[in-house]
Amino acid sequence: MQTVYEAAGGDDFFLALAEAWHTRATADEVVGHAFSHGFHPEHTRRLAAYWAEALGGPTTYSDSYGDETSVVRMHSGNGPHEDMDRRAIVCFDQALTDVGLADDNRLRKVLHDYFVWAATTTMSRYHRSADDVPDGLPIQQWSWDGPVGRMGSDAI
């Protein structure tokens, strides 16, 4: 069976999606706050590599940039932010349309479900302190049926 990464079109698709999401997120009055103190100049390339790896693509993110622990720590210690999460999800759904996934098809649904899970579970779990994030977490894999392996919604 084809991975989500392959079905989406590979690296080019995820780079376009990351660029579209980043444009929408930084322009959003709530989500944009997360970027107000600056961001890495390669943010969209790193984000694309992270999503690609999580969705069945090459291990570029973990080989070059870090593991799940490093990603979750970047998003931790900022207190609860449910409104920001909801707005980030809206930006993601709009970005899916921006890159040509306007139809309510299986690929769009699995990408949406992955982003919702990542935003509301893994990236929001340690709102008190980044120091609470365990060391050595692997990047959570996601398939057509949801989280793969031991992590699921409870392990992080």
Please indicate, yes or no, if residue 154 is contained in any of the structural domains: no
Regarding predicted confidence, which is higher, 14 or 73? 14
Please give the single-letter amino acid code of residue 69: T
CATH of the domain at 76: 1.10.490.10
Please indicate, yes or no, if residue 37 is contained in any of the structural domains: yes
Please indicate, yes or no, if residue 99 is contained in any of the structural domains: yes
Please indicate, yes or no, if residue 115 is contained in any of the structural domains: yes
- What confidence tier does 57 reach under pLDDT thresholds 50, 70, 90? very high
Please indicate, yes or no, if residue 152 is contained in any of the structural domains: no
Q: Which two tokens stand for residue 144?
A: 């057509």
- Number of domains within the chain: 1
Q: Which two tokens stand for residue 150?
A: 């031991």
Please indicate, yes or no, if residue 153 is contained in any of the structural domains: no
Contacts (Cβ under 8 Å, ≥6 apart) of 117: 142, 146, 147, 153
Q: Residue 104's CB: how many other CB atoms inside 10 A?
A: 8
Decide: residue 23, CB within 10 A, 0-12 exposed, 13-18 middle, 19+ buried.
middle
Of 23-27, 47-51, 103-107, the poorest mean pLDDT is in 103-107
Report how far residue 98's alpha carbon sits from residue 61's, in angstroms, rounded to the nearest whole number.
24
- Give Cα 22 distance to the centre of its chain: 11
Give the number of C-alpha atoms closer than 13 A to the C-alpha of residue 17, restricted to the C-beta side.
26
Mean of the per-residue pLDDT values of the chain: 80
- What confidence tier does 152 reach under pLDDT thresholds 50, 70, 90? very low
The pLDDT assigned to 35 comes to 60
pLDDT in tens, 7-30: 999 999 999 999 999 999 899 887
- Residue 154 backbone zone (phi > 0: left; psi -120 to 50: alpha; other: beta): alpha
Please indicate, yes or no, if residue 156 is contained in any of the structural domains: no
**pTM score > 0.75 for this model?**
yes
Look up the domain containing 130 and give its range.
4-147
Please indicate, yes or no, if residue 128 is contained in any of the structural domains: yes
